[in-house]
Structure 1
Amino acid sequence: MAERRARRVMAWLLGLAIVAYLAVCALLYAQQRRLIYFPQFTRVAADQTDIAITRPDAVLRGWVVTPGRRDAVIYFGGNAEAVDASRGAFAEWLPDRTVYLVAHRGYGASDGEPSEAALLADALAVYDDIVHRHPEGDVAVIGRSLGSGVATHVASERPIRHLVLVTPFDSLAAVAQSHYPAFPVGLLLKDRYDSAARLPRHDGRLLVLRAGRDNVVPPPHTDRLLASFKGPAQVVDFPRASHDDLSSDPGYWPALRTFLQRPGD
């Protein structure tokens, strides 16, 4: 009798654990974009920006640094990154290029809600707009963290001569799985940013800046992305830097400038 009761209790506890696990999975699925995107830390008024690119369902806004140059750079920022904070550094270190800091939709003063499909489509529209503004120049693309997935998509769809990826990952799904190993992230995640599948279609030059103490994008994820690339990649390691403070390293901006000043052939 006691043994039968113990079995019923164990079965009840197991069922409760399964229900709780499935409830957490459902919550992760329903709230996933709130766990991925953090635009609330970047919001500014539209009148603080100086460029606007109109999309069918949103207006993307941002900043232009050192206007009037023949060559250009498009910078796709990281999650929770206020891209306007880098205006001074870009002006100092890349004075020969006009730099466009266009916030992702939902970030900065840009309209809309972020999602992978929207951000990737926006990025192509931004690139095409900037190329039209610089018909005789080279338009380089830089992407940091979340923006690396966006930049890689652009480089897979457009002829980019200079691509810079800062703390990049192989795919968001793989990174998320490493942070939540107990849950089937691969089945739950809508926005996957599969850069390892897209990067092989880039046939230009590639610079990867990697942080040695990156706890957000563990180094194996950057390694797997590099392994997917067919051409030679220049990799600059910053062993003492973390995911968030990499751009504060004394070698960060010189690495960008050196790469972008070299001939692209």
Structure 2
Amino acid sequence: MLSSKLLSLVLPLIGFYALIVGALYAMQRPMIFQAGMSPTPPALNSVPGFQEVSHRTEDGLDLRALYRPAASKAPTLVYFHGNADGLSGSLRVTERLVAKGYGLLLVGYRGYDGNPGSPTESGLYADGRSVMRWLSEHGVPSSGTVLVGNSLGSGPATEIAATHPVAGLVLISGYTSLPDVAASAYPLIPVRLLMRDRFDNIGKINRVMAPILILHGTADQTIPYSHAVSLAGAAGNRAQLVPFEGIGHELVGSSSLSPAIDQWLSFLER
């Protein structure tokens, strides 16, 4: 039996641990969805070549996005941004692809960029379904779209690609699942039991029937390169994995990213 002295040492530690676990559980969504850190949204109607569009989600939210029609028969890229980012960051990331004539729909999530609502896993999926409906209603079927998801955005991009007949899926710094990411960051916390938002990309990617391009920095400390290897393995011969040596989680801002996407899209269009 533990002595009273040992108990007096152990019980406060157990209580402190329980307090940490409880705080992480309560604060998990603000930690995951850093909507308040996204840049100030641009004056959307003044962005050359783009128009601000509004689409209504199945749960009644009117969300704004940016849309640029494709030139000729080029595909339309549907871009799901990463965390602590928004439409202004999406514009910077995709500007090199604009010159190639691709259509672009830059998705604004609920709770980000001044949009109503609070972000959750199911909410971001609903936002993705909503933009796909909007595109279809405006003459762009899902078969004419390529979904691009960066970091957090790899979750909704994979979900929509697994449930819609899209032309392709591009994952930039994507993850196998959010619990896998959290388990690496908090090895002493039972995050796999606690997390409400899971974004199980590894469990869904084998249902994506379209070609898949996976781009990942080998020096990524936020979402390790091993996630990309696992995703490519789960996708089988439909996936192409392109490593970026020495680049971390800032891959989306690399000047070599857009040429890699453009090269793959050119091959896809043949």
1:161 to 163, 167, 181: 167
**Aligned residue number for residue 11 of structure 1:** 7
**Aligned residue number for residue 208 of structure 1:** 214
How large is the RMSD of aligned CA atoms in angstroms? 2.2
Matches within 5 A, 1:90-101: 90-94=94-98, 95-101=100-106
Q: Note the C-alpha offset of 1:88.
A: 5.4
TM-score (norm 1): 0.90
Q: Note the C-alpha offset of 1:111.
A: 1.5
Q: Note the C-alpha offset of 1:39.
A: 0.9
Does residue 1:114 correspond to 2:119, yes or no?
yes
Deviations 1:24-56 (A, max 9, x none): 111111110011111112254686351111223
Matches within 5 A, 1:1-265: 7-42=3-38, 44=40, 48=44, 50-55=52-57, 56-65=59-68, 70=73, 71-87=75-91, 90-94=94-98, 95-135=100-140, 138-244=144-250, 246-264=251-269
CA distance in 2, matches of 1:225, 1:33: 24
Contact 1:62 1:110 in 2 (8 A): no
Q: Note the C-alpha offset of 1:15.
A: 1.1
Instruction: Indicate the SS of the match to 1:104.
Output: coil
- Which deviates the most, 87-96 or 252-261? 87-96
Deviations 1:142-180 (A, max 9, x none): 000000011000011001121100001110011101110
Instruction: Indicate the SS of the match to 1:262.
Output: helix
Identity of aligned residues (%): 28
CA distance in 2, matches of 1:131, 1:261: 23
CA distance in 1, matches of 2:147, 2:83: 17
Deviations 1:170-216 (A, max 9, x none): 10011101110000001110000000011110011010111111111
CA distance in 2, matches of 1:235, 1:192: 23
TM-score (norm 2): 0.88
- State the one-letter code of the partner of 1:74: V
Q: Give the direction of change, closer, same or farther, for the CA distance of 1:30–1:7 in structure 2 (3 Å limit).
A: same
Instruction: Indicate the SS of the match to 2:246.
Output: strand
Deviations 1:198-235 (A, max 9, x none): 11100110101111111110122222222211333111
- Which deviates the most, 167-176 or 41-50? 41-50
Q: Give the direction of change, closer, same or farther, for the CA distance of 1:209–1:46 in structure 2 (3 Å limit).
A: closer
Instruction: Indicate the SS of the match to 2:209.
Output: coil
Aligned length: 260
Q: Note the C-alpha offset of 1:263.
A: 3.4
CA distance in 2, matches of 1:60, 1:128: 13
Contact 2:228 2:241 in 1 (8 A): no
Contact 1:144 1:168 in 2 (8 A): yes
- State the one-letter code of the partner of 2:5: V
Q: Give the direction of change, closer, same or farther, for the CA distance of 1:249–1:48 in structure 2 (3 Å limit).
A: closer
Contact 1:211 1:238 in 2 (8 A): yes
CA distance in 1, matches of 2:225, 2:92: 29
CA distance in 2, matches of 1:247, 1:23: 36
Contact 1:166 1:209 in 2 (8 A): yes
CA distance in 1, matches of 2:134, 2:262: 24
CA distance in 2, matches of 1:219, 1:165: 12
Instruction: Indicate the SS of the match to 2:26.
Output: helix
Contact 1:162 1:204 in 2 (8 A): yes
